[in-house]
Amino acid sequence: MKNVLSYIIAGIIGGCTFFGIQQFTTENTQVQNSTPDATYTSNHAIGNASSAPFDFVTASQKATKAVVQIAAAESEVVANERRQQNPGMDLFNFDFGDLFGGDMFGQNFFGPRKGNGSGVLISADGYIVTNNHVVGFADELKVTLENGKEYNAKKIGTDPSSDLAVIKIEGSGFDHLSFADSDNVKVGQWVLAIGNPFNYLASTVTAGIVSALGRDLDIIKNNQGKTIEDFIQTDAAVNPGNSGGALVDVDGNLIGINTAIATPTGVFAGYSFAIPSNLARTITRDIIENGDIERANLGIAGYDVDEELAQQEGLKVTQGIYVAEVMPGSGAQFSGILPGDVVVELDGKSVKNFEDIRDQMRFSKVGDTVKLKILRNGSYETIAVKIRKTI
């Protein structure tokens, strides 16, 4: 009897325990199951374009209307003049690839040159900014708008040192973009690249982020030896034909002109480079006002002054540029700069080394005048130097 009673009591206790465990498990199962439902709902909402923090539709619609396709060609007359100026040298001087890798195949080395690229309308009356390597060689230019309309264009001017150029089509009321402030561009922000890759993928939009700022890669080809590079680096896909196209932010503001890619193959390999809009704005304004820009230097060569040089030459300054040579025919020679002078200021700004002169004169061109403060025989004087084309 005692054994039977024990079994009954044990059964009651076991049943209660099982019921309690079942209730606890059921409650926890309900809490856990609610989480996937909530996650699914949340993810579904994020995936809906209307609920996203931004999309690229508005920026794309705005920018593609202002990006044009450019067909550039060298007439037979210009080709003949080039051949006469460089007899027998065409093959050796031929540029086997523009900054996007180019395409040398199918080109006639000794005939008129041709090329294609992109450009950005920057005014309602038809001014277009593009790359010098797209149009610099050409005297026949045809522009096709996003809507398919074609126009003949004329070249306003070029600046080989920055690889920028301006061309113009006749008309009014063109959709266009205004230069935004590229100083506000940040690493990591989303950007769009718009252009015409491979000459047949018209009005192509790609997206990426800003990977780096202020890239100076020494990739602009300029026979004057002076270049201005301050690229915005992105991972937005661009290819041959994108040269001169637009780099815009998510609001469609023009923050750069696509110019180059880093590539071992001639096509996109992960990184592209654009000229910042602030730099492009300054140079295009100058081109529109003055035509072709020819950069020039002061025409001096020398050494950065340090304590050792100052002691050796008996100078009373320990920084500046010691002039060792003045180039014949340069602005420095015509203005009276002499070997032994020490340049300590340029246009009122301190000069510590040649980098300072290069940075301060990066936009200087033939015809400009700069003021140099120099130390000569222990005394300071200021000399105005008019920049000349160096012989």
Q: What is the DSSP letter of 106?
A: T
CB 220 within 8 A of CB 230: no
Beta bridge partner(s), residue 193? 206, 247
Q: What is the DSSP letter of 202?
A: T
* Residues with Cβ within 8 Å of residue 111, at least 6 apart in sequence: 79
Distance CA(89)–CA(111), nearest Å, equals: 13
Backbone angles phi, psi at 384, to 5 degrees: -85, 130
Q: Give the three-class secondary structure for 321.
A: strand
* Active site (catalytic) residues: 133, 163, 243
* Interior/surface letters 249-261, b for 16+ CB within 10 angstroms, e for the rest: bbebbbbbbbbbb
130, 190, 188: which is closest to 154 by C-alpha? Answer: 130
Distance CA(1)–CA(266), nearest Å, equals: 96
> Helices marked H in the chain — which ranges?
2-46, 57-64, 76-85, 90-93, 132-135, 277-290, 307-313, 331-335, 354-360
> Helices marked H in 1-71 — which ranges?
2-46, 57-64
Q: Give the three-class secondary structure for 244.
A: coil
Cα of 364 vs its chain's centroid, Å:
20
Give the up-direction half-sphere exposure of residue 118: CA atoms within 13 A in the CB hemisphere.
36
CB 227 within 8 A of CB 177: no
Structure-token match 């880093």, residue found: 262
Neighbour tally for 191: CB within 10 Å: 26
Distance CA(126)–CA(128), nearest Å, equals: 6
- Sort 190 into a burial class: Cβ within 10 Å, 0-12 / 13-18 / 19+: middle
Length of the chain equals 391
